[in-house]
Amino acid sequence: MSIRSTVLSRVGIPLLAALAGFGFAQALTPNPVNGELMRRLERQDARMEALARRLETQAASPPVAPGPRAMVGMDLTGLRGELRELLREELRTAMASVADGPVPEKAPTPPPPTSENVAAFEKVDRMVEDSLASGSWGRAQIQELRMFRGQMTDAQYMELVRKLLTAINSQQLRVEERGSPI
């Protein structure tokens, strides 16, 4: 017996038996997919017939004027023109009422900084500059800034905070405490 006939008998016969068994199983097993597919098609057919009947009855009834609808791609130039005119009228009315009424006063200007404000600002500004030179901002600096906060004007404080946060964000200054650096 040759090697070829041995391989064929060991591989070929089981392969042929497996294929025959598979084919036999396929032939005897009912295909549930086809039954389900047919039921779905029948339901779709019934829906289409119902829609066709509904369309026929609507076509026979008198047409009703459609309500206003927004249309996609609608030309908005006329609408824009009307809107501009309405805005002009409202502005004219508002300007006329302002001209008749009292002139609104400007927001009060903050008082000039006192010597106490200037001294506190200079001290904290020096501390920020020293921290920039050393590259670190720690607990002592945070506490000192908070202590002098009440002695500075809002504008002075915001200037220092802006300077400090800019240095922190550009990594010129490293914050050594957890939490807020201000």
Q: What is the pLDDT of residues 82-93, one digit of tens each?
A: 888 888 888 888
Say what the pLDDT of residue 65 is. 62
Which tens digits make up the pLDDT trace of 86-144? 888 888 888 777 666 665 566 677 788 888 988 999 999 999 999 999 999 899 998 99
How far is the C-alpha of 111 from the C-alpha of 151, rounded, in Å? 14
How far is the C-alpha of 143 from the C-alpha of 161, rounded, in Å? 14
Residue 155 near residue 110, CB atoms below 8 Å: yes
Which tens digits make up the pLDDT trace of 12-40? 788 888 888 888 777 777 666 667 777 88
* Its pTM surpasses 0.85: no
Residue 7 has pLDDT above 70, yes or no: no
Kindly state the DSSP code that residue 9 receives in the 8-state scheme. I
Residue 54 has pLDDT above 90, yes or no: no
Lowest mean pLDDT among 54-58, 70-74, 166-170: 70-74
How far is the C-alpha of 79 from the C-alpha of 161, rounded, in Å? 49
Who contacts 136 (Cβ-Cβ below 8 Å, separation ≥6)? 173, 174, 175, 176
Cα dihedral 132, 135, 140, 142 sign: positive
Closest CA to 154 of 96, 113, 116, 105: 113
Confidence of residue 75 (pLDDT cuts 50, 70, 90): low
Closest CA to 157 of 127, 131, 120: 120
